[in-house]
Each structure stands twice: as C-alpha cells, then as structure tokens.
Amino acid sequence: MRRSVPWWVLFSSVCAPVLLVAGWAISAVLQGPEYDPASRTISTLAARGADAYWVMTPALVALGACHVVTACGLRSAAPPGRVALAGGGVSAILLALFPAPSSGGSLDHGAVVAVGFSLLAVWPILAVRRGAAGRGGSTSERRPAAVPPVRTAPWGLRSGPSLMATALMWVGGGWFLMALFVHDTAGAAERVITFAQSLWPLVVVVSCVRQTDGDEEPR
C-alpha cells in the first residue's frame, strides 16, 4: 500500500523545529552575553547589523521552506489548512526581506510576523478532515460491498486536537503581547509559541504515518 505521507514530508516536518531551535541557540551565543533570550525576541537576532544575522536569517528561511514542503506533501490534510501552513512558511521566508531594524520598530516586519503567526495558528483547525467516520460505527455495515467505508481521520487531523492546538496558539499570542508590553519576558514567550507552531506539523505528520502503518498491519 502506498504511504499517505511521503518520506520527504516527514523529513521536512522534523527539520522545522530542529532548525528553529538550533538557529536561535547558535545565534544567541554569537550575539554575546549582552543578549538576553528571556527578554529579547528572535527577530533581534535576525536584525540588520546583528552579529547573528547570517545564522538566524537562513534558519528562518529554512524553517519557512520546511513548512511549504510539508504543506505540499501532506495530502491527508484539508486543502485550506495546507494553504494556511504554506502561507505561514512563506511569511517566515519573507522575514529575510523585512528584517527587524537594529533599534525601534518596523511596520513591515510587524505585519509579516502577525500574518505568519495568524496563518500558523489557524492552520490546524483548517486542516481538519470533515466527515470521517469513527471507529466501530455501523455506517459502513449498511454500505454496499463495493463501496469502501470512510476511514477515520488521523489523530492530528481530528477536530478535538486541532481545535485545542489552535486555541492554545492564540492564547500564546495573547501571552506574547502581554509579555511584550507589560512584562519583560517577550523573548521567552515568543520561543514557546514559535516552537509550538513549528512542532505541530510534525505531530500531524506522525499521526498520519502511524495510521498508515496501522492500516498496513495484517488483520
């Protein structure tokens, strides 16, 4: 049986969180002790003139490319979710063209970040496969023998987990805004949120792989 998830989709989804964490970890070391990862954002590492610009910027571009590749090959997900995931990846790539300034704010950079966050926050719920039958249902028993039963959607593409993932990401966005304007912990909040958004595609892909492997087991 042909696998529902190509090997290169699993590879890209694994690389996404690894590249993100490695990028900010190496960049923080290059930036020196004056950089506080708890209070300063990842964008600071990719700002114009930053010592770590040449590491963090390629890491963000590679992260975005991974999301685009994953979206292209994740055929089990609903098309709106795949489009949103790819759009979030393109937003990460565009950060190379609209980096944060060395000091102060940037409307262009902030807009790209906001769009990218929003797309990566809503893609889990948009990717849900509608109308999948649950296990043990009697619907398939009433179908003609020539019509195969509707398969259960992979765990990562079911409404419950996907809705929870989207809700937690939006809560994380509110936490980041509070940390940015009220508390001095914007860097820590941003790292938690961006890591979660980079990890969820891997969760979805693994759930698809596990279901495919289970379907291939002898009955």
| Model pLDDT, residue 129 | 82
pLDDT band at 100 (very low <50, low <70, confident <90, very high): confident
> Is the pLDDT score of 142 beyond 80?
no
Instruction: Please write the tens of the pLDDT for every residue from 31-78.
Output: 998 899 998 989 889 988 888 899 999 999 999 999 999 999 999 999
Number of residues that this document lists for the chain = 219
CB 57 within 8 A of CB 99: yes
Q: Which residue has the higher pLDDT, 200 or 134?
A: 200
Distance of alpha carbon 13 from alpha carbon 199, whole angstroms: 8
Structure tokens at 8: 């290169």
CA angle 23, 24, 26 (to 5 degrees): 70
The predicted model gives 157-162 an average pLDDT of 95
| Model pLDDT, residue 16 | 97
The predicted model gives 163-188 an average pLDDT of 92
Structure tokens at 3: 């696998």
| Model pLDDT, residue 147 | 41
DSSP assignment of 4-65 equals SS-HHHHHHHHHHHHHHHHHHHHHHHHH-TT--TTTS-HHHHTSTT-TTHHHHHHHHHHHHH
Return mean pLDDT, the chain. 86
| Model pLDDT, residue 66 | 98
Instruction: Please write the tens of the pLDDT for every residue from 63-75.
Output: 999 999 999 999 9
pLDDT band at 3 (very low <50, low <70, confident <90, very high): low
> Is the pLDDT score of 26 beyond 50?
yes
Q: Is 77 in a helix, a strand, or coil?
A: coil
- For the chain, what are the domain ranges? 7-129+152-209
The predicted model gives 195-207 an average pLDDT of 97
